[in-house]
Amino acid sequence: MIMMCPSVAGTPLKDVTIKADAPSELLLQKHVDYIAAYSDKVNDYEYVMTEYLRMSGIYWGITALDLMKQLPKMNKEEVVSFVKSCQHDCGGIGASVSHDPHLLYTLSAVQILSIFDAIDAIDVDKVVEFIRGLQQEDGSFMGDQWVSDICGEIDTRFSFCAVACLALLKRLDVINVDKAVEYVVSCKNFDGGFGVRPGSESHSGQIYCCVGMLAITNSLHHVDPDLLGWWLCERQLPSGGLNGRPEKLPDVCYSWWVLASLKVMGRIHWIDKSKLERFILACQDEETGGIADRPGDIVDPFHTLFGVAGLSLLGSYKNQLKAVNPVFCMPEETLTRLGVRTQLL
């Protein structure tokens, strides 16, 4: 239920209220079943409509299952084969078969193969070449290539995707890291946050990407951790949930973007843990399994992953959930196996 909550000074703030009978325990098996059954729904309208992000959808499902210690529920051979079939000649990887190559899905693909320890299924050199070619003169990254004079989208999300992907492949050296950092820093705002491009409003999702990018490139000294940390912990509303920017409703995915950013900056304890945990648990669907953006809404794999990952970061349900890496949103043990480390404050 969404309502306007009276604040201290009597003026309304946006938030939700959690019903008394909302789920209050982790329904782990239900989420496992939900994710495992999701890829069977190939006849579902929603499944078909999200083909354009299938690679990310698979990454969300695989990571959620692995964090819940149920990765074997996924058919590894099938998935690896699918990923392989999505790599183009240019090296870039598309969301699905016959979808154009894109940095977003290239990262998801590399994350999937890293978790499955099957990175050799694709041509790594070509992936690296694809990413290298996306860096612009000002250090920014396009999401996909120039074709004739059609300019690609520039977005700090892509700066993150590029360095995260290259870090997983141990090939960060191929890009101009200093310039890449310079561009991200140019997106820093007066409130300490980061936006999609220079001047754009601070947004929790973009902040996660920028902070993550700076952590990967050992450049966190460009962040004011107390200032940004305060802006981030200000995302927590009375319901316990986190929003993406001031005066917006809480959403479970921000439990990840905000929390992970705070973790990287060594300030995760600035969030009221028990209140956030209560919010995330309330977003579960007791009947279908899965987690939604806010209590009572329809679930999806995206929010299921970020809800579970958020709980893991909080240190909740330690026996049932694997530790998650705050920069890559992958099981910590995968990063350890790969020998990939980032800066953490």
Residues forming the site for another protein (CB under 8 A)? 7-11, 13, 42-46, 48-49, 51-54, 75, 77-78, 81-82, 85, 94-100, 102, 144, 147-151, 153, 189-191, 195-197, 199-203, 229-231, 233-234, 236, 238, 240, 245-248, 267, 269-270, 272, 275
| Residue that has been written with the tokens 């802006």 in this structure | 231
Q: Dig out the tokens for 33 from the structure.
A: 């079943």
Query: Is the Cβ of residue 79 or residue 128 nearer to another protein in the bound state?
Result: 79
The burial class, CB within 10 Å (0-12 / 13-18 / 19+), for 249 is middle
Residue 129 carries which side chain, given as an amino acid letter?
E
> Strands, E, within the chain: which ranges?
2-6, 12-16
Torsional class of 192: left (φ above 0), alpha (ψ -120 to 50), beta (otherwise): left
Q: Dig out the tokens for 38 from the structure.
A: 């999701």
Contact between residue 331 and residue 324 where contact means Cβ atoms under 8 Å apart = yes
Q: How far is the CB of 190 from another protein (least distance, A)?
A: 3
The SS3 assignment for 156 reads helix
Query: Is the Cβ of residue 270 or residue 317 nearer to another protein in the bound state?
Result: 270
Query: Is the Cβ of residue 31 or residue 267 nearer to another protein in the bound state?
Result: 267
Q: How far is the CB of 193 from another protein (least distance, A)?
A: 9
Query: Is the Cβ of residue 227 or residue 344 nearer to another protein in the bound state?
Result: 227
Torsional class of 175: left (φ above 0), alpha (ψ -120 to 50), beta (otherwise): beta
DSSP character string of 216-276: HTT-GGGS-HHHHHHHHHTTB-TTS-B-SSTT----HHHHHHHHHHHHHTT-GGGS-HHHH
Query: Is the Cβ of residue 230 or residue 317 nearer to another protein in the bound state?
Result: 230
Distance CA 241, CA 37 (A): 28
Nearest CA to 166 out of 118, 117, 133, 194 is that of 133
Q: How far is the CB of 89 from another protein (least distance, A)?
A: 14
Q: How far is the CB of 200 from another protein (least distance, A)?
A: 5
The burial class, CB within 10 Å (0-12 / 13-18 / 19+), for 335 is buried
Query: Is the Cβ of residue 94 or residue 331 nearer to another protein in the bound state?
Result: 94
Query: Is the Cβ of residue 199 or residue 339 nearer to another protein in the bound state?
Result: 199
Query: Is the Cβ of residue 230 or residue 341 nearer to another protein in the bound state?
Result: 230
Q: How far is the CB of 13 from another protein (least distance, A)?
A: 8
Q: How far is the CB of 147 from another protein (least distance, A)?
A: 7
Q: How far is the CB of 181 from another protein (least distance, A)?
A: 22
- 242 φ/ψ angles, rounded to the nearest 5 degrees: -115, 140
Q: Dig out the tokens for 48 from the structure.
A: 């078909």
Query: Is the Cβ of residue 99 or residue 132 nearer to another protein in the bound state?
Result: 99
Q: How far is the CB of 144 from another protein (least distance, A)?
A: 7
Q: How far is the CB of 26 from another protein (least distance, A)?
A: 22
